[in-house]
Structure 1
Amino acid sequence: MVRSEGGGRVAGDAMAGETTRRGTLPVQRLRPGDHAFCRYTERPRWDLVAAYAWTGLARGEKVIICPAPQADRDTVRDRLEEHGPSLDHVCARGQLVFAGMRRLLHPYDRFTPARQCQRIQEEIAGALAKRYAGLRAYIDMRWIADLGADVAEVMARENNAAHLFAARSYSEICAYDTSAFEPAVLDALRAAHPHDLLDGPGALRALHAAGSVRLVGEADMATQIEWISALREAFKRSAHDGHLVVDLSRLHFLSVGCASDLLSLSTDAHRHGRIEVRLDRDKATLLIGLGSRYLKHVVLVEDC
């Protein structure tokens, strides 16, 4: 591993002991093989759905959008097109499909975990056979009431679906309407998923722990106040020990202004013996370009 005393080089053994990418993610960071939970109130976050769908299309994956049973498919398509060009071409060639759970389960007319998993495996195989890079699905879980499915069976499926994602050719978002499920049920379902999504693109969430802060989402002008507040809180909490980990590995975007804020606050926190910043190579390059090498107590650690 290469390490710089002044943050000028990037170390390569970040997140030792963390063997899985469990936890909160922005939708843009979902990768093939990821299984994620999100919740919404009143109406789906179409910006989240669009970001997920357009990312898959750009990667050459097949995309299935399974909206709520009562949703009008033309309206759903219009919502996606608000965030990109016309979908005529990808719909015509079958790369983007709008399909309710009844259609997805066909020829079965009743949900069981085994039947749904079988159908998804068939869809994955079909997508790969047509030379798509993989398959991704967005599923609005209001289909449960529509099909009269047992929530306990759905819970069993969510808890035992790892085999669908093992080959890293399938990703899935399960979206839950908060008005359709009891809070305790939602909490249990969230715990059954490896990943919990931010509410939508453009959000920032700070996850504080002893000696560390993980910043998830986007750090830019719109979230700069929250960004600075979270960093100040982290520096305050770690002042006694003098060692802080600032984890940016799940940050989708870091603006020059927010990167400068981090270095300015780190300069003021010179009494910290060590500030370890975990980040990808692009963000490391940005911080190095802004002068992180001059802060002897800041160490950049690459975490892909």
Structure 2
Amino acid sequence: MAGEQRRHGTLPVQRMRSGDHAFCRYAARPAWDLVAAYVWRGLERGERVLVCPAPQTGPDEARTRLEENGPSLDLVCARGQLEFSSMRRLLHPAPRFTAARQWQRIQEETERALAHRYSGLRTFSDMHWIADLGADLEEVLAGEANAAHLFTARPYSEVCAYDSGAFEPAVLDAVRAAHPHDLLEAPGMLRALHTAGRVRLIGDADLATRGDWLASLREAFTGGPPEGRLVVDLSRLYFLSVGCASDLLNLATDARHKRIEVRLGRHQATLLARLGSHYLRHVTLIEDRDS
């Protein structure tokens, strides 16, 4: 049965896992570094990967673009773990797009991947195929919003990439809302989301983003009532450097908050503990098992 997908928010592409369905947008040309990161993460996890670039981009060009952002793909292509295809080819021999046909083919390809002893299937699809196939946009959007059964019942993940120059802003807003996740525009970025008593940091906290990291933390530590609780949510970070981790502890040391909760993954918790977080009694590390 088809069903609506719950909205979970923004992720860095490297955090995409089996069961995730994500939206991304690009302007003028695809973000091949994002595609490469997504592809290689799947290959490392032992998944079969299916890449459907824009119809005007042939498989040889797509492969060249990916190899510009990573090592040679000779081995994974030769053994069939990575395949360059298209929505037209995926739907064949159906003469037109329907969500039911797309779901059927994805289920078949997922079963095929498992039969060949891969851990699952992940796909990347540039949505220029909608115009190429003359598909009904409303039907495509309905399919995007009601595909939860593909992700909850099978080891499958998918990124849908929309060219912001080819779709109206209202359409992009609607399709973004229909996906459980949207992706940061490229690897290596950092985004901060502030709400009352809480800051969520997403992406990479390293030398390149350290200025934004410090500015975001300082805003969180100085905003709101200092006597209350502050939540610093790092559960959607992909990378946390020693320097940025030290920045967090230094700011927490001088904070006037009675309680600071840092929500984070196991590796981040280990790093903060080694840097002495246990000496700060008002700081509590809460490990997110899903991180």
Taking the aligned partners of 2:69 and 2:275, their CA distance within structure 1 comes to 33
Q: Is the 8 A contact 2:43 2:81 kept in 1?
A: yes
Deviation at 1:168? 4.2
Counterpart residue identity of residue 69, structure 2 = H
Determine the C-alpha separation between the residues in 2 that align with 1:287 and 1:21.
30
Q: Does 1:287 align with 2:287?
A: no
Q: Take 2:206 and 2:133, find their aligned partners in 1: how far apart are those partners?
A: 43
1:80-102 CA-partner distances (Å, limit 9, x unpaired): 11232211121112111100110
How many residues are treated as equivalent by the alignment?
284
Aligned-residue offset at 1:120: 0.8
Secondary structure of the residue aligned to 1:97 is: strand
CA distance in 2, matches of 1:124, 1:172: 12
Structure 2 residue aligned with 1:3:
none
1:210: how far off?
A: 1.5
3-state secondary structure, aligned to 1:37? strand
How big is the shift at 1:267? Answer: 1.2
Does 2:262 match 1:277?
yes
For the residues of structure 1 that align with 2:43 and 2:7, how far apart are their CA atoms? 23
Q: Structure 1 CA distance, aligned partners of 2:193 and 2:249?
A: 20
From 15, 31, 52, give the equivalent of 1:29: 15
The answer on 1:303 being equivalent to 2:284 is: no
The one-letter code matched in structure 2 to 1:285 is: T
TM-score normalised according to structure 2 size: 0.95
Matched residue, 2:33: 47
Tell me how far 1:294 sits from its aligned partner. Answer: 1.4
Instruction: Indicate whether 1:38 and 2:24 are aligned.
Output: yes
Paired with 2:251 and 2:145, the residues of 1 have a C-alpha distance of: 42
- The equivalent residue for 2:218 is 232
Task: Please name the residue that 1:16 is paired with.
Answer: none
Q: Write the letter of the residue equivalent to 1:254.
A: L
Share of identical aligned residues, percent?
71
Q: Which amino acid aligns with 1:215?
A: L
Say if 2:90 and 2:105, in contact at 8 Å, map to a contact too: yes
Q: For residues 107-145 of structure 1, what are the alpha-carbon distances to aligned partners after superposition, in whole Å with 9 as ceiling and x for unaligned?
A: 112001111111111111111111111000000001001
Mapped partners of 2:145, 2:7: distance in 1: 17
Q: 1:161 aligns with which of 143, 147, 151?
A: 147
Aligned counterpart in structure 2 of residue 106 of structure 1, from 89, 92, 95: 92
Quote the Cα distance in structure 1 between the aligned partners of 2:194 and 2:164: 25
8 Å Cα contact 2:98/2:139 also seen in 1: yes
Partner of 2:207: 221
**C-alpha distance in 1 between matches for 2:254 and 2:198:** 17
Which deviations, in whole Å up to 9, do the C-alpha atoms of 1:60-96 show, x marking residues without a partner?
1100000000013212101111232211121112111
Matched, 1:85 2:71: yes
Separation in structure 1 between the aligned mates of residue 286 and residue 141 of structure 2, nearest angstrom: 38
Q: Deviations over 1:4-47 (max 9, x none)?
A: xxxxxxxxxxxxxxxx7811100010110100000000111111
Instruction: State whether structure 2 residue 121 is matched by structure 1 residue 135.
Output: yes
* Contact 2:124 2:160 (C-alpha < 8 Å) held by counterparts: yes
- Is the CA contact (8 Å cut-off) linking 2:7 and 2:178 kept in structure 1? no
Letter in 2 for 1:28: Q
State whether structure 2 residue 174 is matched by structure 1 residue 188.
Answer: yes
The SS at the match of 1:39 is strand
Is 1:208–2:194 an aligned residue pair?
A: yes
Deviation at 1:240, TM superposition (A): 4.2
Q: Does structure 1 residue 199 correspond to structure 2 residue 185? A: yes
SS at match of 1:248: strand
CA RMSD across the alignment: 1.2
Aligned to 2:234: 248
Give me the TM-score of the superposition, normalised by structure 1. 0.91
Unaligned runs of 5+ in 2: 1-5
Give the secondary structure class of the aligned counterpart of 1:246: strand
Amino acid at match of 1:160: N
> Which deviates further from its counterpart, 252-261 or 86-95?
86-95
Residues 69, 248 of structure 1: CA spacing in aligned structure 2 closer, same or farther, 3 A cutoff? same
1:131/1:124 CA distance change after superposition, 3 Å: same
Conservation of the 8 A alpha-carbon contact between 2:120 and 2:155: yes
User: 2: distance between equivalents of 1:215 and 1:122?
Assistant: 37
Tell me the amino acid that sits aligned with residue 222 of structure 2: K
1:290 partner letter: L
